[in-house]
Amino acid sequence: MNHLLADPWLRFILVVAIKSGVLIFIVITSFAYLMLFERKILAWFQLRLGPIWCGPWGLLQPAADAVKLVLKEDLTPRDADPLIYRFAPAIAVLTSVLAYAAIPFGTFPDGSPVAIANLNVGILYILAAGSLGVYGIALGGWSSQSKWPLLGAIRSTAQMISYELAMGLSIIGVLLLAGTTNLSGITAAQSAHHVWYILPQFVGFLIYFITATAETNRAPFDLPEAETELVAGFHTEYSSLRFGTFFVAEYINMITVSCVATLLFLGGGDGPFLATLPLLSVAWFVLKVMVFLFVLIWMRATLPRLRYDRLMAFGWKVLLPVAVLNLLVTAAIVALVKA
Amino acid sequence: MVVLFWVCAIVLVGTAIAVVGSRQPVHSVVGLIVNFSALAVLFLTLSAEFLAMMQIIIYAGAILVLFLFVIALLTVGNQPIETGEGRLAHQTVPAIAAGVAALGLIAFGVRTAWSQSAASPPADLGTVPAFGTALLTTHVFAFEATAFVLLVAIIGVVLMAGRKEIRF
C-alpha cells in the first residue's frame, strides 16, 4: 500500500476517486431529501399534510419510495431497442452527476476551493455536462418505440436546444464582469467587487433562472412529461429502477442549476463572519442553494403549464433577443469602464 | 498521458467504425457522440481546454442533438432505411479509394506540421484568453469569413425550407 501511495499519479487518482465517492453519496442523499422537501412543501401549498407515516415527520419516506421502486417489475417493451433502452437512464444520471466535479462548494481556510477539481473552464464544463443531459431523455423516448415517449422526447429535445442558447448568452454577461471562466474565480470577483452579480446582471439572472427551469423540465416548462396529453412523456414505458433513475437525474439537475445560479449571481459561499470561520462558506452556499430549490418548488405549486407553441415562441422571440441585448449592453459598459 | 492517449485512440477508432458500420441510424449517432467526447478528452491532453469544452458543447451537445432529432422524427421504426430498392450500388471500391486518399493526405499534413512545430508550446496555450486573442486578432479574417459563409447557409436554408409560405 505504501509504495502504491508513493506514485503521484496513483495517489492523485485515489484522492479524486474518494472525493467523487463522498460527493456522489452527498448528492444522492440530498436528492432523496429534496424529494421529501418538495412533497411536504407542495402539500402545505395545497393545505395537505404530505408524507407523515414513514418515520417521524415522514423522514423515512425516501427509503420507502426506493424500496417500492426496486421491488417493482422492470418491463421492457417488445419493440424497444434493447441496448439504448437500458442505457438511456444511465446516461441521464451520469451526465447529471458529471457537473459536480467542477462546482466549488465554498473555500477552505487556506483559500483553496472545496471542490473535486478547480477548472479554468469550470462554467463551460458545467454547460457541457448539461448539454449532454438531453441525450438521456431523447434516447430514452426514442428507444421505447411508442408514440407518447417519442413525442415527449422530441418536445424535450426542441425545448432544450432552444433554451440552451439563451442560457449561454445570459451567463456571458457574468463572465464579462468577472473576467474569468473559473467558478471560484467568479465568486472571488464578486467578493472583490463587493457586489453579488444578481444586482448588475439582474436581467441575466432572470433569463438564467427561466431557462434553467426549462432545461430541467420543471413546471411551468414540464412539457416533455405533460400528463394530460402525453401520459408521462419520455419515461412512459419505463418502470421500476430505470424509471427511478430518470427521477434521480431530474432532481440532481435541479440541484445543479441552483448551485450554478448561486455561484454566478449570489456570490457562491460569500457571506458574513467568513473572516473568523472560513468553512462557514459551505453553509452559506447550501443555504442559498436551498432558497433556489424552494423557489423552483414554489413555481411548480403556483404556475400552470405553458402551451407548447407559446413556450417555443417565448424562448426564441423574447428570451433570446433580451439575452443578446443584455450581453451587448454589458459588453459596451465593461469596455467603456476599462477604457 | 500516454495511457490516456491510447484509450482515447482506441475509443475513437472503434466508435468511428461503429458510426459507419451500424445498420441503425440512431446507433450511428450514439457512436458519434462517444467519438466526439473522446476527441474532447484528446484535446484536453494537448492542453486545449477551451477547444475541448467547445467540442462537447457545440458538436456533442448541440449538433448531434439535431441529428438525433431529425433521425428520430424520420425513422420511428426499428427497420434500417437503406436495405430497399433505393440503396446506392457499387459504393465499396470508390469509398475505400477515397478513404485511403484522405488518410494519405492527413498523414502528409501531420508529418509536415510535425517537422515545423516548436519544441515546447507557450504556457497559456489553449486557455480562454489565449484562444480568444488568437481568434479575434491573428485569425480574425478567417473567423469573419466563416461567419459570413454560415450566414449565407442560414439564409439559403430559410429560403429553401420556407418557400411554400412566401406568396407574392
Task: Render pLDDT for A34-79 as a digit per residue (tens, 0 to 9).
Answer: 888 888 888 888 888 878 787 788 788 888 888 888 888 877 777 7
As for the ipTM of the complex, it is 0.80
Residue of A nearest to B63 (CA): A161
The verdict on A85 touching B (C-beta cutoff 8 Å) is: no
Lowest average pLDDT, out of A84-93, A300-309, B27-36, B121-130, goes to: B121-130
Q: A332 and A194 in one domain?
A: yes
Q: Note whether A92 and A140 are within 8 A (CB).
A: yes
Lowest average pLDDT, out of A121-130, A271-280, B88-97, goes to: A271-280
Q: Inter-chain contact A164–B62, Cβ cutoff 8 Å?
A: yes
CB atoms within 10 A of CB A240: 15
Residue A47 backbone phi and psi in degrees, to 5: 55, 40
Q: Where residue B35 falls among pLDDT bands split at 50, 70, 90? A: very high
Q: A190 and A46 in one domain?
A: no
Q: A291 and A225 in one domain?
A: yes
How many separate domains does chain A show?
Answer: 2
Q: What average pLDDT does this structure show over A209-223?
A: 83
Predicted pLDDT of residue A11: 80
How far is the C-alpha of B1 from the C-alpha of B3, rounded, in Å?
Answer: 5
Q: A166 and A56 in one domain?
A: no
Q: A59 is in which domain, residue-wise? A: 1-70
Residues of chain A in contact with residue B65, where contact means CB-CB under 8 angstroms, are 131, 134-135, 138, 157, 160-161
Whether residue A135 is predicted with pLDDT greater than 60 in this model: the reply is: yes
Give a three-class secondary structure readout of A46-100. CCCCCCCCCCHHHCCHHHHHHHHHHHCCCCCCCCCCHHHHHHHHHHHHHHHHHHH
Q: A192 and A58 in one domain?
A: no
Whether residue A1 is predicted with pLDDT greater than 60 in this model: the reply is: no
Question: Chain A neighbours among B 47-86 (CB < 8 Å)?
Answer: 49-50, 53-54, 56-57, 60-62, 65-66, 68-69, 72-73, 76-78
CATH number of B1-76: 1.20.120.1200
How far is the C-alpha of A144 from the C-alpha of A133, rounded, in Å?
Answer: 18
Q: A158 and A264 in one domain?
A: yes
Whole-angstrom distance between the N-terminal and C-terminal Cα of chain B? 62
| Cα–Cα distance list, A146 to A323, B25, B29, B66, B72 (Å) | 37, 18, 20, 20, 12
Q: Note whether A305 and A219 are within 8 A (CB).
A: yes
Residues of chain B in contact with residue A154, where contact means CB-CB under 8 angstroms, are 69, 72-73
Domain edges within chain B: 1-76, 124-168
Q: What is the distance in angstroms between the Cα of A138 and the nearest Cα belonging to chain B?
A: 8
Radius of gyration, alpha carbons of chain B: 20
Q: Which of B60, B118, B148, B106 is nearest to A130 (CA)?
A: B60
Q: How deeply is A234 buried, as exposed, middle or buried, from its count of CB atoms within 10 A (0-12, 13-18, 19+)?
A: buried
Domain boundary among A70, A93, A111: A70
Q: A119 and A245 in one domain?
A: yes
Q: A118 and A205 in one domain?
A: yes
Q: Where residue A258 falls among pLDDT bands split at 50, 70, 90? A: very high
In the predicted model, what is the mean pLDDT of chain B? 83
Q: A263 and A181 in one domain?
A: yes
Q: A215 and A332 in one domain?
A: yes
Residue of B nearest to A124 (CA): B53
Q: A135 and A37 in one domain?
A: no
Angle, CA of A34, A226 and B59, to the nearest 5°? 80
Q: What average pLDDT does this structure show over B102-119?
A: 83
In the predicted model, what is the mean pLDDT of chain A? 84
Domain boundary among A70, A86, A107: A70
Predicted pLDDT of residue A80: 74
CB pairs under 8 A between A and B: 82
Residues of chain B in contact with residue A125, where contact means CB-CB under 8 angstroms, are 53
Q: A169 and A159 in one domain?
A: yes
The 8 Å CB, 24+ separation contacts for A8-13 are none
Predicted pLDDT of residue A224: 64
Predicted pLDDT of residue A195: 83
Domain boundary among A40, A70, A100: A70
Kindly state the helix (H) or strand (E) to which residue B39 belongs, with its residue range.
Answer: helix B25-45
